[in-house]
Amino acid sequence: MPLLKNNQFVNDEWTRVADADALPEGAKIIVNSARLIQDWDLLAKYTGLLGVSIANNERAEILTPYLSQLSLIVLNFPAYTDGRAYSQAKDLRLDGYRGELRAEGNLLLDQFQFMHQVGFDSFAVNERFALQQWQAASKQMSLAYQRGLFRISGEREVWSQRHQGFAPWEEQPHAG
């Protein structure tokens, strides 16, 4: 499954570590939220980079105490019609998380720009669509009415444009 980041396919350097497995030294690992919380004393001293995956029925707030030490958070779309991870992503970004935020699951072209706008910046996509289709899908609309978007596709916020001189809702640096 290709990993899409900054509109390019890249190698996925992250390893998923199952609950019972030992932690590989100095790697980039993804654990689930239960293990993160349970083994925090150990994981806080981990020598590599730490990522976590949460289910879409978990509250993003459970990660709040750990955010500064996380380099990757993986959110899931079990079906493209299940939009919970959009709110989880937005919550995490509003909470100040600036690391990589990855979408995985049933990802289709037509929701791709929405995902960027709420703060996702990497995508575990399937092989059905070519790179240029993803690239085009990331900027189908050049405008958005909402403010406080996690701007990465370069669309303009209509209200901020109309009323210039005001800072955007939040200054958010590009991540990833």
* Sites of contact with other proteins (CB under 8 A): 59, 61, 80-84, 86-88, 90-91, 94-95, 108, 110-111, 113-115, 117-118, 140-147, 149, 158-163, 166-167, 169-170
Least distance (Å) between residue 136 CB and other proteins: 9
CA distance 6 to 152: 9
Kindly tell me which of 43 and 103 has the beta carbon lying closer to other proteins. 103
Residue 13 Cα distances to 17, 63, 162, angstroms: 13, 22, 42
Cβ–Cβ < 8 Å for 50, 87: no
Least distance (Å) between residue 107 CB and other proteins: 12
Kindly tell me which of 16 and 156 has the beta carbon lying closer to other proteins. 156
Kindly tell me which of 7 and 117 has the beta carbon lying closer to other proteins. 117
Least distance (Å) between residue 49 CB and other proteins: 27
Which string of DSSP letters, residue by residue, matches 126-170? Answer: -TTS-HHHHHHHTTS-SEES-SS----S-PEEHHHHHTTTS--SS
Least distance (Å) between residue 105 CB and other proteins: 12
DSSP 47: S
Kindly tell me which of 23 and 53 has the beta carbon lying closer to other proteins. 53
Note the Cα 1 to chain centre separation in Å.
Answer: 17
